[in-house]
């Protein structure tokens, strides 16, 4: 005698949905709370180190779309001095080939994802904009030595919450810190 | 004496009878319209939030505190939309269809008692009026399907008619059971007679009425006439702007009306301890509506043949047996104690559901009927 045939199946389904109803929601309230990206993520931006770059333009050669523009001149110690290092991130697809190609580890993928601008031309980033800052942090992508030093992480994206990855009923409200 | 009659008599002291009659009429209509429209807005908001919670998300919560102004924003958006009439469509039929669908939902509230005696017109044939009015909206849906000159709309309209014809019978038969038990057709008196809620006395009738009204107001899982996966948006497809909103409000208006009728007939209406009667009525209506939403979040949509088969092969015979059972109890055992009736009727309902479930056996990944 199978009880699935006597309406028990619908009752079970109702209990499943009721359980879901009583669960806290998974919705992320974006501007109030943001997901943290993993330190190894192939993110949505590039970080450029002015001290490490020799102006060899390997990155520009490896870029499939030709987004990177490097202009150099010869300096006093017979080295290149980088005049211009521009990346058109509007056309960039963040494949990471420039990062993998760089022989001096002067360019990194970044961890941030909030890159929207009001003007298209603002997406063409200059030297100064590409440099390391508080908002522009490098990730360990394609840098095995650096990656080995990073703490272990399981998730690519995770909540920025004190109580770990548990779901909460009113996640956008600031929890009072005692 | 109802509240309306008292109000009319009070007015008649200050003005001629005909003026008092008209003024009382206008005040009553406006009060009912305000109640219905406010409740429709509340229902839409509740449905969006609760279905969101069923899907483990939040639902609209940005516009105003907890998103309560979301519907006002939606309304403003909809007001600005272009009203498109299909060029080969029938203009007047297309124009009238939303009105014909929406107005019956409001008309039902003329006989619903909200409080002791607080009923717009205490019709002696109240429940007959409800049954008659609630099936008019199907005409509106058919007009929408016909006037749109669209094959999917027409399919939806024909489905709506088939559904309404199928589910009207079990619903009316289960209502007859209620009438036999209470001995009156007036909704006001039905509430006053109910000492214990009738869903305990006629569990099978309650179940049949619940499922049948769910099908009649076209809520999921019986929402075949707007099945997105089959016929795009069904009868609403050629509608935009305010006409579409009328359909949408009609849908929720019918849900509200159906919840009110179920509350009145089976859940003893405004009766309840401690809290004021009107609040009890609202609480019961919301509980019924929650079960509607719960079923919507749980049960997938039926096939067309399953839908009609469920009405004709399952609900109709069960409604007939239920009617005969109640009639036998009322005629032969009028002295039967209520709790004995509860036990007997629950046992019969269980047995009948078990027997009829044999017809709907699962097999090979599809339900055979």
Mean per-residue pLDDT for B347-354? 83
Mean per-residue pLDDT for A91-113? 87
In a shared domain, residues A57 and A109: yes
Res. B369: pLDDT tops 50:
no
- Higher model confidence: residue B3 or residue A139? A139
Number of domains in chain A: 2
Residue A103 C-alpha, separation from nearest chain B C-alpha, in angstroms: 46
In a shared domain, residues A94 and A127: yes
Percent of chain B with pLDDT over 70: 96
Closest of B178, B198, B196 to residue B128, by C-alpha: B178
Contacts of A40 (CB under 8 A, 6+ apart): A139, A140, A141, A147, A150, A153
In a shared domain, residues A135 and A58: yes
Q: Does B297 sit within 8 Å of A25, measured CB to CB?
A: no
Binning pLDDT at 50, 70 and 90, where does residue B359 land?
low
Residue A15 resides in a domain: no
Q: Does B354 sit within 8 Å of A10, measured CB to CB?
A: no
B195 CB within 8 Å of a chain A CB: no
In a shared domain, residues A30 and A111: no
Nearest residue in A to B359, CA atom? A5
Nearest residue in B to A21, CA atom? B54
Nearest residue in A to B363, CA atom? A5
Q: What is the pLDDT of residue A1?
A: 47
Q: Does B362 sit within 8 Å of A5, measured CB to CB?
A: yes
Q: Which domain holds residue A116?
A: 43-141
Lowest model confidence (mean pLDDT) among B3-7, B94-98, B181-185, B246-250: B3-7
Q: What is the pLDDT of residue A5?
A: 59
Q: What is the 3 state secondary structure string of B121-188?
A: CCCCCHHHHHHHHHCCHHHHHHHHHHHCCCHHHHHHHHHHHHHHHHHHHHHHHHHHHHHHHHCCCCHH
Res. B270: pLDDT tops 60:
yes
Residue B294 C-alpha, separation from nearest chain A C-alpha, in angstroms: 7
Q: Does B298 sit within 8 Å of A10, measured CB to CB?
A: yes
In a shared domain, residues A32 and A59: no
Q: What is the pLDDT of residue B190?
A: 84
Mean per-residue pLDDT for A78-105? 88
Res. B283: pLDDT tops 70:
yes
> A32-56: per-residue pLDDT in tens?
777 778 888 887 888 888 888 888 8
Lowest model confidence (mean pLDDT) among A22-31, B65-74, B210-219, B239-248: A22-31
In a shared domain, residues A73 and A135: yes
B290 CB within 8 Å of a chain A CB: no
Q: Which residues of A touch B360 (CB under 8 A)?
A: 5
Mean pLDDT over the full length of chain B: 84
3-class secondary-structure state, position A167 = coil
Q: Which residues of A touch B57 (CB under 8 A)?
A: 25-27
A21 → closest Cβ in B53, B357, B361? B53
Mean per-residue pLDDT for A59-71? 90
Q: What is the pLDDT of residue B365?
A: 44
Residue B67 C-alpha, separation from nearest chain A C-alpha, in angstroms: 13
Q: Does A5 sit within 8 Å of B56, measured CB to CB?
A: no
DSSP conformation letters of B40-71 = HHHHHHHHHHHHHHHTTS--S-SSSGGGTTHH
CATH label of the domain that carries residue A56: 3.30.70.3270
A75 CB within 8 Å of a chain B CB: no
Percent of chain A with pLDDT over 90: 2
Q: What is the pLDDT of residue A118?
A: 92
pTM, to two decimals = 0.80
Res. B368: pLDDT tops 60:
no
Closest of B315, B332, B358 to residue B205, by C-alpha: B315
- Say if strands B362-363 and B366-367 run parallel, antiparallel, or are unpaired: antiparallel
Residue A16 resides in a domain: no
DSSP A24: P
B298 CB within 8 Å of a chain A CB: yes
Q: What is the pLDDT of residue B1?
A: 66
Q: Does A18 sit within 8 Å of B362, measured CB to CB?
A: no
Q: What is the pLDDT of residue B290?
A: 92
Residue A73 resides in a domain: yes
Mean per-residue pLDDT for A117-135? 86
In a shared domain, residues A108 and A161: no
In a shared domain, residues A69 and A131: yes
Binning pLDDT at 50, 70 and 90, where does residue A160 land?
low
Using alpha carbons only, give the angle B356, B359, B360 rounded to the nearest 5 degrees.
100
Instruction: Give, for B254, the enclosing helix (H) or strand (E).
Output: helix B241-266
Q: Does B53 sit within 8 Å of A25, measured CB to CB?
A: yes
Residue B235 C-alpha, separation from nearest chain A C-alpha, in angstroms: 29
Binning pLDDT at 50, 70 and 90, where does residue B110 land?
confident
Count chain A–chain B contacts defined by CB atoms under 8 A.
45
Q: Which residues of B touch A7 (CB under 8 A)?
A: 353, 357
Domain assignments of chain B as residue spans, ordered by start: 83-367
Residue A10 resides in a domain: no
Residue A43 C-alpha, separation from nearest chain B C-alpha, in angstroms: 27
Res. A31: pLDDT tops 80:
no
In a shared domain, residues A31 and A55: no
Residue B19, CA atoms < 13 Å, CB-side half-sphere: 7
A6 → closest Cβ in B55, B297, B353? B353
Q: Which residues of A touch B54 (CB under 8 A)?
A: 17, 20-21
In a shared domain, residues A171 and A137: no
Residue A109 resides in a domain: yes
Residue A102 resides in a domain: yes
Residue A2 resides in a domain: no
In a shared domain, residues A35 and A63: no
In a shared domain, residues A53 and A99: yes
Q: Which of residues 45-64 of B touch A (CB under 8 A)?
A: 50, 52-58
Q: Which one of A21, A32, A173 makes the best mutation probe of the B interface by having the most chain B beta carbons within 10 Å?
A: A21
């Amino acid at each position: 005698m199978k009880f699935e045939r006597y309406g028990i199946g619908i009752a079970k389904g109702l209990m499943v949905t009721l359980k879901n109803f009583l669960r806290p929601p998974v919705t992320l309230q974006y501007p109030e709370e943001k997901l943290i990206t993993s330190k190894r993520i192939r993110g949505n931006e590039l970080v450029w180190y002015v001290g490490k770059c020799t102006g060899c333009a390997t990155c520009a050669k490896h870029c499939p779309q030709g987004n990177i523009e490097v202009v150099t001149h010869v300096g006093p110690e017979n080295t290149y001095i980088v005049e211009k290092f521009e990346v058109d991130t509007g056309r960039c697809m963040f494949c990471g080939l420039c990062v993998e190609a760089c022989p001096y580890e002067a360019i990194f993928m970044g961890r941030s994802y909030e890159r929207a601008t009001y003007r298209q031309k603002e997406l063409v980033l200059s030297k100064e904009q590409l440099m390391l800052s508080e908002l522009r942090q490098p990730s360990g992508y394609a840098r095995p030595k650096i990656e080995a030093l990073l703490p272990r992480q399981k998730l690519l994206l995770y909540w920025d919450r004190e109580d770990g990855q548990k779901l909460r009923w009113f996640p956008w409200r600031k929890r009072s810190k005692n | 004496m109802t509240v309306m009659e008292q109000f009319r008599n009070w007015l008649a002291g200050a003005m001629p009878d005909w003026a008092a009659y008209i003024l009382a009429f206008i005040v009553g209509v406006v009060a009912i319209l305000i109640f219905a429209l406010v409740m429709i807005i509340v229902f839409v908001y509740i449905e969006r939030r609760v279905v969101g919670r069923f899907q483990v998300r939040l639902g609209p919560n940005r516009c105003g505190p907890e998103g309560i102004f979301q519907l006002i924003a939606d309304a403003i958006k909809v007001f600005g939309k272009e009203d498109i009439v299909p060029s080969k469509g029938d203009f007047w039929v297309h124009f009238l269809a939303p009105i014909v669908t929406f107005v019956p939902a409001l008309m039902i509230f003329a006989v619903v008692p909200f409080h002791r005696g607080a009923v717009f017109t205490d019709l002696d044939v109240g429940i007959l009026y409800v049954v008659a009015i609630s099936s008019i909206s199907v005409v509106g849906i058919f007009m929408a399907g016909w006037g749109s000159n669209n094959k999917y709309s027409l399919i939806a309209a024909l489905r709506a008619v088939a559904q309404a014809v199928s589910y009207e019978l079990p619903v009316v038969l289960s209502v007859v059971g209620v009438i036999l038990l209470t001995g009156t057709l007036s909704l006001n008196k039905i509430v006053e007679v109910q000492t214990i809620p009738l869903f305990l006395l006629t569990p099978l009738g309650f179940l049949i009425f619940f499922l049948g009204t769910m099908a009649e107001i076209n809520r999921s899982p019986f929402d075949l006439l707007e099945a997105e996966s089959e016929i795009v948006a069904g009868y609403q497809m050629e509608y935009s702007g305010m006409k579409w909103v009328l359909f949408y409000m009609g849908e929720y208006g019918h849900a509200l009306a159906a919840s009110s009728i179920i509350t009145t007939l089976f859940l003893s209406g405004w009766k309840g301890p401690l809290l004021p009667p009107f609040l009890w009525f609202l609480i019961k209506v919301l509980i019924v509506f929650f079960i509607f939403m719960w079923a919507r979040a749980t049960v997938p949509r039926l096939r067309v043949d399953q839908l009609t088969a469920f009405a004709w092969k399952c609900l109709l015979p069960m409604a007939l047996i239920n009617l005969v059972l109640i009639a036998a109890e009322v005629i032969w055992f009028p002295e039967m104690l209520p709790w004995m009736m509860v036990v007997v009727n629950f046992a019969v309902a269980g047995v009948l559901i078990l027997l009829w479930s044999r017809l709907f056996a699962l097999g090979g990944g599809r339900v055979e009927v």
